[in-house]
Structure 1
Amino acid sequence: MQWATHPAFRTAAVLVSVAVAGTLLGMGWEEVRYGGTRTELERAEAAVDAVAEEARGLERTKHDEAVLARTLSYFPPYPNGGRPEALAADYLGPDTPIAVAWFATKDSSDQVLQHYRKFLLDQGLPVVGMRFNDNAGYVGYWVPKDDEVRLMSTLHQGGETMVFVSSARMARYLERAGRVPDGVPVPQGLKDAASLSLRMEGATNVTVTGRVPDTTLPDVEQGYREFLRTQGWNVSEGRPAGFQTTEITLTRTGLRGQATLRQPAAQRDVEFHLSLMRAQGAP
């Protein structure tokens, strides 16, 4: 599954973060303030546990049923999946309808993605997807008539996979998503940028995605690392996160981020994804 260049999918990686935004709302931000060592994936995994625990035993409301209808109606039930639950809806503003549901399965992230990829292909739909690593990815498609993006996003942790099902009409969002917020560091030459800021208790989460064209992963990593240091960031040694994928942790007082650089095989573009936590009152 490859990176898509159609404008409707410029925000696909951001939508994955949007889909799990509800998990982030329950997270503590002490490590943002004091420089904890857990990775972004580990923090998300802990938050997913909290969401799953909170949802157990709760009865569905009419609002929940409406969210489920807006998401699950586009995909068949997963054979080995648990009971679906509503997560959130319409939190990007009145001009960006979005709904997110989730369920859990003991199957791997790859099994879920391959199952729904096959379903979409059998339906003759243009499939777009990405694997961030062995534990996370997404697969989905775009409906031109409605300008709606429909995604299945996965996050495997603790022996099970959380599957986030989202549908969103992104046209208005795309119009305002291209500006990277001031003070958020991105590689030189970043194209097709898309950003999302989520205000939370005590912190703001900023997610930025894009691509650096006609280059190589080592060149982008070296240039980005040098740029971060000139801007006063503390930068970790890059660590492999899969084939042609590197993760970099960056910190400053009140700020903590994780950047992922990835270059798909036989492509000259390097994909960029940054999740940055800014503590309240941080410079």
Structure 2
Amino acid sequence: MMISGPSLVLFLFLVPMSTEMIRKECGEDIEITTSGGTSEILTAAVLQKYDGTKPKPFLSINETHESSCTENGTFCIQFGDGRRQITLTVHSVTFQDQGKYALYNDTNITEPKIIFIIVTGMCEPKLSSSTDNLTCEVDVANTYKSTIVWMDKHRKIYRLKTFPKNVTEEVVTKLRDTFKLTDETREVDICCTVSYVGKKEEKQNCRIRPSHVGKVEGTADNQNIIILPVLLVLGLAIAVALYISWRRRISFTQKNRERTLSETGLMEDHQAENLEGAPLETLQRPQDQV
């Protein structure tokens, strides 16, 4: 019997669906594996994310593309066990990732795997910088009585901000505070330390000395890439110059030695010539003369 139109929609709502509630601390990984329930080889799968009550395509795989990930690499789905299973992986889940998802494959089109992701706790603080300021942002399950403390690595406190209870009905899960740098704080390692009232836990993010604030990220690496070849060329040039200087000094020494030897030889020849032309009696010993 073929079901179509409104009857199909009603049928989908009446069929009991497999549901899984997953509760994770911010930053933890999630891995869920589903099978087709038969020995069939799966050929396709789709992950949908609900926006309110409406599901929207999120990721899909097929015979050509056996794995697929979101652009930031957080969500991935792929075939497993000889294409008889589908594995959903969520890397470092955050509060933005929580919600309702539906995972379809060839054998559960009418009964998808429903996944509810609930995120708790506190994420790692994120630091950004400008010329005169550091900004700390962190996602938490509840901002009430949470605190951002600016301190150095010796835990000397420079600024403390406690967040009061939210007076509006809007759900706020992000803490944010900006720290203005001074001459003193530019010379130390500044840390953003966040205390979450829910479990009294604390997470911290430190950066390099703020005296480097204002530089474009990666500039130091680029400068090193440029400076290193220059230093190598300079070192080679110095080595060549020293070698040439050494060769010239050796050559000059050899020439001086040859000149000295040459002059010594001429002097000896001259003395020999004088001896050859001298009278015989001058060459005789005084005791040989009568």
TM-score by length of 1: 0.24
Larger Rg: 2
- The structure whose RCO (Cα within 8 Å, separation 6+) is larger is 1
TM-score by length of 2: 0.24
